[in-house]
Amino acid sequence: MVSTPIQTPALIDTDKITGKKIIAFGAHPDDIEFTSAGTIFQLSRNNDVHFAIATDGSYGTHDHNQDRGELVKTRYQEARESAKQLKAKEIDFWSYPDLDLQNRKRQLLKKVVKALLKIKPDIVFSWDPWGKYEPAVHPDHRALAWAVAEGVMMSTLPKWIHRKGLGNKFLSPKPQLWLYAPGEANIAVDISPAWEQKITAIKLFKSQFDSEVVMEKVESRLQNNHSRVGEQVGVQYAEPFRIMEYRGEWDR
């Protein structure tokens, strides 16, 4: 049996990416920060970045007595502060119930397409629906991953858009899809200059850290994970992605 060699990611230069409209999707408040905060921060300098958060994050606690409404309010405020830290232009909360996206697939797909038609992005960030681990484990990540991947395609089909009552506009050309937590990365972004911004953004989600989830341990794990990716491309820290149909236009 002959094994297929693992592809070494290409190191890309985010400074070459300018004047773009970008939307990053997260299933929960803090998804974008953990997966791509360094890259987003660097891109936000020369591009318009928008966030869309699909669920209310209401299961994001180890305290079963915590009031749901108060937790949602807290998580939204943390997300707003983080979006400001990362220089995002806008953050939109869809407020679907946490852990329920798999039961709302048609509604979710339509919501994704509406967001794409509104923003008209050049670049879309989302979970990798073919990811081997994280997206496949959390049902919300998996549901959103497929909704965004399919939504990017559907947003280019005028007859489908019209049939769903979304108007007569469609996206052309198709946005480039950047997948975080990829099953196999084909690019990596040097986030060494933005490492402190990434960690600062994550620390803003104070509601997510307690005796069960300790920030110091989380930061250590992040350092290990991102330094391993960095070693592959010759930098200190890097975030991995799979860009669909990438043609090397931003390679260093």
Residue 16 sits in a domain whose CATH number is 3.40.50.10320
In a domain, 6, yes or no: no
Q: Note the pLDDT of residue 4.
A: 41
**Beta bridge partners of residue 48, listed in sequence order:** 21
Classify each residue of 214-246 as buried b or exposed e, where b means 16 or more C-beta atoms within 10 Å of its C-beta: eeeebeeebeeebeebbeebebebbbbbbbbeb
Residues 101, 56 contacting (CB under 8 angstroms):
no
In a domain, 220, yes or no: yes
Report the distance separating Cα 47 and Cα 59, nearest Å: 33
Q: Is the pTM of this model over 0.85?
A: yes
**Tally of CB atoms within 10 A around 155:** 26
In a domain, 83, yes or no: yes
User: Can you tell me which residue has the tokens 């405020």?
Assistant: 77
Residues 124, 177 contacting (CB under 8 angstroms):
yes
Q: Where would I find the H helices in the chain?
A: 31-43, 68-85, 105-119, 134-137, 139-154, 158-163, 195-203, 215-233
Q: Note the pLDDT of residue 7.
A: 77
Please report, in tens digits, the pLDDT of each residue of the chain (252 residues total).
343 445 799 999 999 999 999 999 999 999 999 999 999 999 999 999 999 999 999 999 999 999 999 999 999 999 999 999 999 999 999 999 999 999 999 999 999 999 999 999 999 999 999 987 666 689 999 999 999 999 999 999 999 999 999 999 999 999 999 999 998 999 999 999 999 999 999 999 999 999 999 999 999 999 999 999 999 999 999 999 999 989 999 999
What is the domain extent for residue 218?
A: 11-59+68-243
Report the distance separating Cα 189 and Cα 182, nearest Å: 13
In a domain, 251, yes or no: no
In a domain, 72, yes or no: yes
The residues, any chain, with a CB within 8 Å of residue 200's CB and separated by 6 or more, are 85
In a domain, 145, yes or no: yes
Geometric angle at alpha carbon 167, from 164 and 171, rounded to 5°: 95
Query: Count of domains in the chain?
Result: 1
In a domain, 4, yes or no: no
In a domain, 3, yes or no: no
